[in-house]
């Protein structure tokens, strides 16, 4: 067995004996040890404590290797529970149209938006999509992401959706990161089904889901519950069909409108409802009284110049909230979780402790990985961010835009 002892950690962040999803006030508690050591055995966290107690612990002589963190801060890697990183092409031309005054709806009406990505994805080979997504995954892991959820939803045809999910399966098999796959066939209605919703819903339930279940291609089912996309009734129909095949719901809700998506997700027992830019008291209360996690995607709000998610109201109401990047070519062309954490503090007034908890432990729970990842806990996987020397934890969101990561460890191995 290989064992590595990390010494002289300025601050070891997110140390917990046992973990649960954090809600309301609990999000502000981020237990840390100053001047700490951390012992790793193979890919797993074996022990940690104060440097003052290291000599009597006997770990110094036990460890096969020692790494002097020399005053760095160590925290669990980011758990990004909402992304769309399998796509065939960026969409910066639409970005420039928008700068010149066109609206999201204008662009969608011209065949832009999700349909633009779908056209390109259907033309791309599986290998090409894999290669591109792999590059993105590599970049994200260097930015500290250690676990990630990836959605389909740019296929919108039986072949295209299955192709995307096969790419995600290959990523799962090849990557050291923990990856969860979500089927988002209900991302938008393809043009040929614009006036035949029933027809596309049947494609999903009769031609996509049975193959996905048979070939074990997804963990979750997602629907874009939004005016002009999928109604709450259609969302429920698709989710129930997915659930009958063993897929739990994680849905896009309340992004552009009070879509009813939050209440629908809660009623279905969704793992998470994601976006939540547009919330009223009823939606907030329904989430607060549920076991569903509210996943906030501040970089999507930023990129679309929308009001940010009401993080403070959600936390005050007692909700469990996670933070994720929504990395996709249309509304969040960045998967940098350091930026997500900074933006949630700067724009949504989350405290640094709340933001880090939401981007680590609660993100892990939003992928049902909370027992393996998201905190410094004995028995959990050794997924670590080692920072450059920083004066305090609040410096991370404060000094937004600086790359403060020195190195990253995934399952006991340095990148």
Q: Which residues bind ligand NIG (CB under 6 A)?
A: 113-114, 117, 224, 252, 255, 300, 326, 328-331
Minimum distance from residue 190 beta carbon to ligand NIG (Å): 14
Q: Which is nearer to ligand NIG, 254 or 338 (CB)?
A: 254
Query: Choosing among ligand NIG, Fe ion, none, which partner's interface includes residue 330 (Cβ < 5 to 8 Å by kind)?
Result: ligand NIG
What's the rounded Cα separation, in Å, for the pair 291 and 302? 27
Q: Comparing C-alpha atoms, which of 190, 222, 208, 200 is closest to residue 83?
A: 222
Minimum distance from residue 255 beta carbon to Fe ion (Å): 8
Instruction: Write out the residues near Fe ion by the rule CB under 5 A.
Output: 326
Q: Which is nearer to Fe ion, 149 or 234 (CB)?
A: 149
Indicate the residue whose CB is closest to ligand NIG. Answer: 330
Give the contacts of 13 (CB within 8 A, at least 6 positions apart). 30, 32, 73, 74, 75, 76, 356, 376, 393
Query: Choosing among ligand NIG, Fe ion, none, which partner's interface includes residue 117 (Cβ < 5 to 8 Å by kind)?
Result: ligand NIG
Give the contacts of 413 (CB within 8 A, at least 6 positions apart). 43, 176
Query: Choosing among Fe ion, ligand NIG, none, which partner's interface includes residue 141 (Cβ < 5 to 8 Å by kind)?
Result: none
Query: Choosing among Fe ion, ligand NIG, none, which partner's interface includes residue 185 (Cβ < 5 to 8 Å by kind)?
Result: none
Indicate the residue whose CB is closest to Fe ion. Answer: 326
Q: Can you tell me which residue has the tokens 């919108």?
A: 156
Q: Which is nearer to ligand NIG, 7 or 272 (CB)?
A: 272
Query: Choosing among Fe ion, ligand NIG, none, which partner's interface includes residue 114 (Cβ < 5 to 8 Å by kind)?
Result: ligand NIG
Minimum distance from residue 275 beta carbon to ligand NIG (Å): 7
Residue 308 DSSP code = P
Q: Can you tell me which residue has the tokens 């996690």?
A: 293
What's the rounded Cα separation, in Å, for the pair 338 and 356? 9
Q: Which is nearer to ligand NIG, 44 or 90 (CB)?
A: 90
Minimum distance from residue 198 beta carbon to ligand NIG (Å): 22
Q: Which is nearer to ligand NIG, 69 or 366 (CB)?
A: 366
Minimum distance from residue 84 beta carbon to Fe ion (Å): 6
Query: Choosing among ligand NIG, Fe ion, none, which partner's interface includes residue 4 (Cβ < 5 to 8 Å by kind)?
Result: none
Angle, helices 261-268/232-244, rounded to nearest 10 degrees:
30
Q: Is 182 within 8 Å of 152 (Cβ atoms)?
A: yes
Residue 332 DSSP code = B
Query: Choosing among Fe ion, ligand NIG, none, which partner's interface includes residue 155 (Cβ < 5 to 8 Å by kind)?
Result: none
Minimum distance from residue 328 beta carbon to Fe ion (Å): 6
Q: Which is nearer to ligand NIG, 161 or 326 (CB)?
A: 326
Q: Which is nearer to ligand NIG, 121 or 247 (CB)?
A: 121
DSSP 213-282: HHTT--SEEEEEESTTSB-HHHHHHHHHHHHHTTPEEEEEESSSS--SHHHHHHHHT-SEEEE-SS--HH
Residue 375 DSSP code = S
Angle, helices 158-174/126-142, rounded to nearest 10 degrees:
40
Query: Choosing among Fe ion, ligand NIG, none, which partner's interface includes residue 303 (Cβ < 5 to 8 Å by kind)?
Result: none
């Amino acid at each position: 067995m290989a064992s590595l002892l990390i010494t002289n950690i300025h601050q070891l962040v997110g140390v917990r004996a046992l973990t649960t999803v954090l809600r309301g006030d609990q999000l502000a508690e981020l237990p840390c040890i100053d001047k700490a050591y951390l012992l790793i055995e193979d890919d797993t966290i074996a022990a940690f404590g104060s440097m003052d107690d290291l000599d009597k612990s006997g770990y110094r002589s036990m460890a096969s290797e020692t790494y002097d963190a020399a005053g760095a801060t160590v925290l669990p890697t980011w758990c990004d529970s909402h992304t769309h990183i399998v796509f065939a092409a960026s969409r910066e031309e639409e970005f420039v149209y928008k700068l010149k005054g066109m609206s999201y709806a204008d662009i969608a009406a011209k065949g832009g938006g999700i349909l633009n990505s779908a056209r390109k994805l259907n033309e791309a080979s599986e290998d090409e999509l894999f290669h591109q997504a792999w590059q993105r995954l590599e970049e994200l892991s260097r930015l500290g992401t250690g676990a990630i959820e990836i959605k389909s939803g740019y296929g919108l045809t039986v072949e295209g959706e299955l192709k995307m999910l096969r790419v995600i399966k290959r990523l799962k098999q090849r990557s050291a990161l923990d990856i969860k796959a979500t089927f988002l066939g209900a991302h938008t209605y393809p043009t040929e089904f614009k006036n035949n919703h029933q027809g596309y819903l049947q494609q999903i339930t009769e031609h996509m889901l049975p193959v996905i279940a048979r070939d074990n291609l997804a963990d979750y089912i997602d629907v874009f519950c939004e005016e002009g996309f999928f109604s709450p009734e259609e969302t429920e129909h698709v989710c129930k069909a997915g659930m009958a095949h063993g897929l739990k719901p994680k849905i896009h809700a309340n992004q552009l409108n009070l879509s009813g998506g939050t209440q629908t997700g809660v009623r279905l027992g969704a793992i998470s409802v994601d976006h939540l830019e547009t919330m009223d008291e009823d939606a907030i209360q329904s989430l607060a009284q549920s076991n569903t996690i509210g996943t906030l995607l501040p970089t999507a709000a930023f990129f679309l110049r929308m009001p940010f998610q009401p993080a403070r109201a959600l936390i005050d109401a007692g909700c469990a909230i996670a933070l994720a990047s929504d990395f996709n070519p249309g509304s969040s062309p960045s998967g940098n979780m350091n930026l997500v954490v900074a933006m949630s503090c700067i724009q949504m007034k989350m405290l640094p402790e709340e933001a880090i908890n939401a981007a680590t432990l609660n993100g892990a729970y939003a992928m049902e990985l909370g027992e393996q990842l998201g905190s410094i806990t004995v028995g959990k996987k050794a997924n670590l961010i080692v920072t450059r020397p920083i004066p305090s934890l609040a410096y991370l969101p404060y000094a937004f835009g600086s790359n403060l990561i020195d190195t990253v460890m995934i399952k006991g191995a340095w990148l």
